[in-house]
């Protein structure tokens, strides 16, 4: 018998637990036919609603269901990592609890790995129907930008919904970084990957856990985790301003020797502008360096990615 582990990060998803379970179990017949058993890992990311008690209700009915409960909210990245760490399956899937990742795709994903020889099957939504327009706009810009800055391919519209072989999961687990950006990590490890596309599905119940600013911060984390281009841009700016300064010095000397400026008064306004602008650029660049330093600081501390409060 093979084993399929399904990892479900949950943060205040009380309305969705049972719906998700029922929807997933529609695949039971198919997987039984393939000789594959289920293992369901709900990762409670510090929920404050009835998520935990609902999962416990499922555990009482079905012994294939497991729960890992965090001591507080550590974020979806930590929840996914915890799930991968605990999953015992030969095949491992990560899915959202809100049914935006259709469980009906699982059989097709399974076939790609078991029969077509892929190591991972990822999903991508082809549109962003139902999403606020500003969010879609910035999301598109983010993917354009990050793909210019890094060699790792980060696909627009890619979801974290993915089925992986054991080999693939072990590769992900070998990346123990603290600042995790899975969309990049999945691409970085390589292997043979297949993409499935589907139309965006709107969340059935509950609300999205991602505010615009939470997403913005996540985007910055992603760029910093997979690119050092901002550091290179900072040094390039330094060089650029040196060249400009050098040209100015020469021009000023030439003017002094030819036309002259006896009172040295002309140009104080432009001088003030230049000083303000250049010191702004300097502070910005120091800030960029500081951001990388702070990420390195967190890595060096080697804090655990999550703390488990309860495991069932």
Interface with ligand UDP (CB under 6 A) = 9-11, 13, 45, 73, 75-76, 79, 96-98, 100, 203, 208-210
User: Could you tell which of Mg ion, ligand UDP, none binds residue 97, using a CB distance below 5 to 8 A set by kind?
Assistant: ligand UDP
45 binds Mg ion (CB under 5 A): no
CB of 45 to ligand UDP, least distance (A): 4
Residue (13 or 119) nearer to ligand UDP, CB: 13
100 binds Mg ion (CB under 5 A): yes
Residue (157 or 230) nearer to Mg ion, CB: 157
User: Could you tell which of ligand UDP, Mg ion, none binds residue 111, using a CB distance below 5 to 8 A set by kind?
Assistant: none
Distance separating alpha carbons of residues 102 and 122, to the nearest angstrom: 12
Locate 81 and state its tokens: 């990592």
CB of 123 to Mg ion, least distance (A): 13
Q: Give residues 68-97 in contact with Mg ion (rule: CB under 5 A).
A: 96
Torsion angle, alpha carbons of 269, 271, 273, 275, to 10: -150
User: Could you tell which of Mg ion, ligand UDP, none binds residue 44, using a CB distance below 5 to 8 A set by kind?
Assistant: none
CB of 8 to ligand UDP, least distance (A): 7
Residue (112 or 219) nearer to ligand UDP, CB: 219
Number of residues near Mg ion (by CB under 5 A): 4
101 binds Mg ion (CB under 5 A): no
98 binds Mg ion (CB under 5 A): yes
Per-position x/- string for 198-227, each x denoting binding to Mg ion as judged by CB under 5 A, each - no binding: -----x------------------------
CB of 302 to ligand UDP, least distance (A): 22
User: Could you tell which of Mg ion, ligand UDP, none binds residue 9, using a CB distance below 5 to 8 A set by kind?
Assistant: ligand UDP
CB of 203 to Mg ion, least distance (A): 5
User: Could you tell which of Mg ion, ligand UDP, none binds residue 11, using a CB distance below 5 to 8 A set by kind?
Assistant: ligand UDP
Residue (205 or 309) nearer to Mg ion, CB: 205
Sign for the pseudo-dihedral over CA of 240, 242, 248, 251? negative
Q: Report CA-CA distances (Å) from 169 to 40, 67, 134, 190.
A: 16, 20, 34, 12
CB of 208 to Mg ion, least distance (A): 6
Interface residues with Mg ion (CB under 5 A) are: 96, 98, 100, 203
């Amino acid at each position: 018998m093979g084993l399929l582990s399904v990892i479900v990060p949950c943060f205040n998803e009380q309305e969705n637990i049972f719906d998700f379970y029922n929807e997933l179990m529609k695949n039971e017949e198919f997987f039984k036919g393939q000789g594959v058993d289920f293992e369901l890992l709900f990762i409670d990311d510090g929920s404050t609603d009835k998520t935990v008690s609902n999962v416990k209700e499922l555990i009482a009915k079905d012994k294939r269901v497991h729960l890992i409960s965090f001591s507080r909210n550590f974020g979806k990245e930590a929840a996914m990592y915890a799930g991968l760490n605990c999953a015992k399956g030969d095949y491992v899937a990560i899915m959202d609890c809100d049914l935006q990742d259709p469980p009906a795709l699982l059989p097709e994903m399974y076939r790609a790995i078991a029969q077509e020889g892929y190591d991972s099957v990822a999903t991508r939504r082809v549109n962003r129907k139902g999403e606020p327009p500003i969010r879609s706009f910035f999301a598109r810009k983010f993917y354009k930008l990050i793909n210019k800055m890094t060699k790792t391919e980060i696909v627009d519209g890619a979801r974290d919904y993915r089925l992986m072989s054991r080999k693939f999961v072990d590769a992900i687990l070998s990346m123990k970084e603290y600042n995790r950006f899975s969309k990049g990590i999945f691409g970085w490890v390589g292997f043979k990957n297949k993409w499935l596309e589907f139309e965006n599905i709107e969340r059935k119940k509950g609300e999205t856990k991602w505010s615009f600013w939470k997403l913005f911060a996540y985007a910055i984390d992603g760029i910093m985790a997979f690119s050092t281009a901002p550091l290179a841009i900072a040094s390039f700016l330094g060089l650029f301003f040196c060249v400009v300064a050098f040209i100015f010095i020469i021009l000023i000397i030439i003017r002094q020797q030819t036309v002259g400026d006896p009172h040295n008064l002309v140009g104080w306004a432009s001088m003030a502008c230049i000083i303000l602008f250049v010191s702004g650029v300097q502070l910005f660049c120091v800030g960029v360096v500081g951001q990388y330093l702070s990420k390195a600081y967190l890595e060096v501390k080697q804090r655990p990615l999550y703390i488990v409060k309860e495991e069932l």
